[in-house]
Amino acid sequence: MSSRIEQIIEEIEEYVESCRYQPLSTTKIVVNKEELEELLRELRLKTPDEIKRYQKIISNKDAILADAQAKADGIIADAQVKAQEMVSQHEIMQQAYTQANDTINSANAQAQGILDAATQDANSIRLSAITYTDDMLANLSNIMGTTLDDAAMKYNAFVESLQSCYSVVKQNRAELAPQTSQAVVDSLDEELDEDEE
């Protein structure tokens, strides 16, 4: 069963795939900013819930260990009861001590085995949860990095376009400046000629 974060990441990937390319480009796309921001906002909201879920899984490690400890304690208690019953029989007292010690040693070994297996299982669950969370965050980081790079390229292209237009306007004004000055001189000459007449 996939998490909501994985579903949102898939939706973002599908959305990016469905976007139209910019005119004359095979790499740049046109995105609906509100739609992409909504997906990212939901992703941001869901991430803490997913992390809490994995923390809960990790916290189950303590429950597993407690259960294993309880089973081990039960085995040891049973062994001690059996040992006491054996000791109470005078005819086989020495044998009872030996069997009791063997039973306790066996119970301790079994209890240690249960604890070791439970610890290994808990560590495996914890490592899996951490690895999964790291993979999700790595995917999210890649998506956000790509989005930031794309936004930076679009911004730089926009600035270059504005700079180009600005240069053309300045050049046109510079070309018009001498003609404008000559037209003013000609106008003044005509006014002087009319005054002399």
Each residue of 85-108: pLDDT tens digit? 887 777 767 887 899 899 999 999
188 has pLDDT over 70: no
| Percent of the chain scoring above 90 in pLDDT | 21
Which whole number is the average pLDDT over 157-171?
88
What is the band of 179 on the pLDDT scale with cuts at 50, 70, 90?
low
| Domain spans in the chain, listed from the N-terminal domain onward | 4-196
What pLDDT digit, counting tens, does each position of 48-76 carry?
A: 877 777 778 878 877 778 888 999 899 99
Over residues 3-41, the pLDDT tens digits come to 788 888 999 999 999 999 998 888 899 989 999 999 999
- Give CA 8 to chain center in angstroms: 11
- The answer on pLDDT for 187 being more than 80 is no
Q: Give the pLDDT band (50/70/90) at residue 125.
A: very high
Helical spans, DSSP H, in 19-92: 33-87
- HSE at residue 80, side-chain half, CA atoms within 13 A, is 7
pLDDT, residue 13, reads: 92
Name all contacts of 52-57 with Cβ < 8 Å and 24+ positions apart: 53/3, 54/129, 54/130, 54/132, 54/133, 55/129, 57/125, 57/126, 57/129
Global pTM value? 0.37
